[in-house]
Amino acid sequence: MPTVHVRYFAALREALGPQETVQLPEGSTVGSLRAFLRARGGRHGEVLAVGLPVRAALSQAICGDDAALVDGAEVAFFPPVTGG
């Protein structure tokens, strides 16, 4: 089972804390990680809910839900950035 390091930024960090480590089945993706975290319910379920604009980065590169996870991967979740 791969161990994945999850980091949260901005409002997600305020709700869930700065980071955590989880173990997932082989073949997991960023999308299945988000679903796993969401299934915990509580704040995880609220801030990672389907339909909410949450972006992800795998090893510091923006990625989609289909990005494959390997042991030791770092995944960051954050809200979309807006600026002016």
pLDDT digits (tens, 9 = 90+) for 45-63: 999 999 999 999 999 999 9
- Overall average pLDDT of the 17-21 stretch: 97
pLDDT for position 80: 86
* Count of helix runs (H) and strand runs (E) in the chain: 3, 5
pLDDT for position 84: 53
Q: Does residue 77 contact residue 55 with C-beta atoms inside 8 Å? A: yes
Decide if pLDDT at 81 tops 80: no
Please state, rounded to an integer, the average pLDDT across all residues of the chain. Answer: 94
